[in-house]
């Protein structure tokens, strides 16, 4: 925590914890690194988040980005993060310049993605200064990642019991409820949204009764709904491997607490490549939430199928080639048809023949694009459709989309296999209009697409309807059988309304099931 000295022309607010100094940037007021919980260090490592201590009459300096939560090799990310410190339970708040104690702007709270091991609220990719020109307040939260956020060593009070990152997110949402009015926001108009692991987290909060009072609306961007969570035996196995790699006995939490942050993040990196699991899909997300039977009873998809979720207005969608970067990273050389069949058999042994019939080998020299089609449908598109149709059994305020536009600029870099592809996360730069952070420029069509995206998202935060109050030429219909299951198809040169996206393939997965 950094305290300011002297006077400043920047914005200041008073919260229940003390005064905060921010900066003006373009048309926004920004407050970086505002603590929402005590620093999870020392004996608070692997403990539920604790209340932050008020800083009294001093002024908290929130004028520059704060470090990310610990993660391995974060300088390789593009753009790089401020790396890393365990004292990372803070959030970044962006408000319109006109925000005061007397305003009541809708609030959009963002949970970043990154496979539960990467990224941060302070990433330039998630800079919200352009978004808040649409008359919303934007809050981006940090939460503990990797082993520090999700380690399980046992079930006793002296063990690490996992799911700390999810508890952090809840703590941040409670902080918003108590304090966002000081920034000119309305705590009764909170939209929770996130992408990838952030979308998983958001859907998880939809199924947690303890999270229900903390937000009113939800936007889900590319949640891998078919990826299974660990159960206790699997979480314990990962924890034991991690402890061995860091040089401790499996349940020696005092020893684990004695290790440096650098030792922790390196051991978590090594552990995720050593875990042996019969659930092949689980290998794509070794660290993350686990089913503890208390906070988390099951993954979001079966909870939604059982009707066990809170009633919220929902926008949900995926990109058209979600798994390109995962498939091409996992198999960095061509995959023949025999190896492709082996992967299908290992993933879905009971239905391998049916799956091979539905997704037959199509590329004699390299079946990775066949694997992309299959895994995008299974993990993202069709499991999302299944969740959406089950949500409709309880409520009808649901909007579905597909993002189908690839960057016109070399934004991915050489290591992601995504040039010219509509990869996982392709929509983010258009939503936040952060192309300038990488010195890139939108084409005229991309600028229109970006403006369209921002208006739909902020309309939804204001009204629960992406078409109001700012009316766009293209109306986004609710997802409904009566209208042939429409979705909004985001693309250039112009977006359109489509119907029954991937219908036969998703019908197939609905019949086969999403649990391997």
Q: In the block, which residue shows the tokens 């860091």?
A: 246
Sheet holding 398-403, edge to edge: 23-25, 28-35, 90-96, 137-141, 105-111, 185-195, 217-221, 313-319, 398-403, 486-490, 496-499
Annotated active-site residue in 90, 205, 424, 502: 424
8 is catalytic: no
Task: Please state at what angle helix 197-206 crosses helix 164-179, rounded to 10 degrees.
Answer: 70
Annotated active-site residue in 121, 122, 182, 196: 196
CA distance linking residue 236 with residue 154, whole number of Å: 7
Tokens of 487: 């979705």
The H or E element spanning position 298 is none
Residue 257 burial class via C-beta count within 10 angstroms: exposed 0-12, middle 13-18, buried 19 and up: middle
182 is catalytic: no
- C-beta of residue 283 within 8 angstroms of C-beta of residue 142: no
Those residues whose C-beta lies under 8 Å from the C-beta of residue 465, and which sit 6 or more positions away, are 313, 397, 459
Burial 347-361 (b: 16+ CB within 10 A, else e): bbeebbeebbebbee
Sheet holding 12-15, edge to edge: 3-4, 56-61, 18-21, 12-15
CA distances to 21, 50, 276 from 4, rounded to whole Å, are 7, 24, 49
Helix ranges (H only) for 105-252 are 146-150, 164-179, 197-206, 232-246
Single out the residue of 319, 296, 328, 307 nearest to residue 379, CA to CA: 319
CA distance linking residue 144 with residue 46, whole number of Å: 10
Angle among Cα 110, 311, 451 to the nearest 5 degrees reads 40
121 is catalytic: no
Annotated active-site residue in 86, 299, 313, 322: 322
CA distance linking residue 317 with residue 330, whole number of Å: 24
Single out the residue of 38, 236, 248, 217 nearest to residue 136, CA to CA: 217
Tokens of 450: 């970006």
Burial 70-81 (b: 16+ CB within 10 A, else e): bbbebeebeeeb
- What is the DSSP code (8-state) at residue 478? P
CA distance linking residue 232 with residue 290, whole number of Å: 7
Q: In the block, which residue shows the tokens 């048809």?
A: 337
- Residues serving a catalytic function are 196, 322, 424
């Amino acid at each position: 925590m950094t305290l300011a000295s002297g006077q400043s022309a920047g914005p200041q607010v008073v919260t229940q914890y003390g005064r905060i100094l921010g900066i003006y940037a373009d048309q926004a007021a920004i407050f970086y690194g505002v603590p929402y919980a005590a620093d999870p260090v020392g004996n608070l490592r692997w403990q539920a988040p604790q209340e932050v201590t008020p800083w009294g009459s001093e002024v908290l300096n929130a004028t520059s980005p704060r470090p990310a939560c610990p993660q391995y090799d974060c300088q390789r990310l593009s753009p790089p993060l401020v790396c890393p410190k365990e004292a990372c339970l803070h959030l970044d708040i962006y408000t319109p310049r006109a925000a005061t104690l007397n305003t009541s702007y809708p609030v959009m709270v963002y949970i970043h993605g990154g496979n539960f091991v990467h990224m941060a609220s302070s990433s330039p990719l998630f800079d919200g200064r352009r978004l808040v020109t649409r008359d919303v307040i934007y809050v981006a939260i940090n939460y503990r990642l990797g082993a520090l956020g999700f380690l399980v060593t046992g079930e006793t009070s002296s063990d690490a019991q996992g799911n700390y990152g999810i508890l952090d997110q809840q703590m941040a949402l409670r902080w918003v409820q108590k304090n966002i009015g000081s920034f000119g926001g309305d705590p009764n108009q909170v939209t929770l949204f996130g992408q990838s692991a952030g979308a998983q987290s958001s859907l998880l909060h939809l199924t947690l009764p303890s999270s229900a009072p903390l937000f009113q609306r939800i936007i889900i961007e590319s949640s891998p709904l078919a990826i299974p969570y660990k159960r206790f035996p699997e979480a314990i196995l990962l924890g034991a491997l991690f402890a061995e790699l860091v040089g401790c006995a499996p349940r020696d939490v005092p020893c684990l607490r004695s290790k440096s942050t650098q030792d922790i993040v390196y051991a978590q990196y090594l552990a995720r490549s050593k875990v042996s699991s019969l659930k092949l899909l689980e290998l794509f997300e070794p660290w993350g939430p686990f089913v503890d039977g208390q906070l988390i009873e099951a993954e979001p998809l079966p909870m939604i199928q059982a009707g066990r979720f809170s009633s919220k207005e929902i926008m949900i969608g995926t990109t058209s080639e979600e798994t390109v970067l995962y498939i091409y990273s996992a198999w960095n050389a061509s995959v023949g048809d025999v190896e492709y069949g082996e992967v299908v058999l290992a993933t879905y042994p009971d239905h391998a023949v049916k799956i091979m019939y539905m997704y037959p080998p199509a590329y004699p020299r390299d079946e990775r694009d066949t694997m992309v089609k299959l895994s995008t449908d299974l993990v993202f598109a069709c499991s999302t459709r299944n969740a959406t149709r089950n949500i409709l059994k309880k409520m009808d305020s649901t909007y579905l989309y597909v993002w189908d536009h690839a960057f016109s600029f070399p934004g991915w870099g050489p290591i992601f296999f995504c040039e010219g592809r509509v990869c996982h996360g392709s929509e983010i730069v258009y939503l936040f209009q952060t192309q300038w952070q990488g010195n890139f420029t939108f084409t005229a069509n991309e600028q229109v697409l970006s403006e369209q995206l921002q208006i739909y998202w902020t309309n939804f935060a204001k009204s629960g309807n992406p078409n109001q109050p700012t009316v766009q030429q293209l109306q986004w219909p609710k997802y409904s059988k009566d209208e042939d299951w429409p979705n909004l198809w985001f693309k250039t040169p112009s977006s359109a309304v489509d119907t029954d996206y991937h219908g036969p393939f998703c019908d197939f997965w609905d019949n086969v099931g999403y649990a391997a």
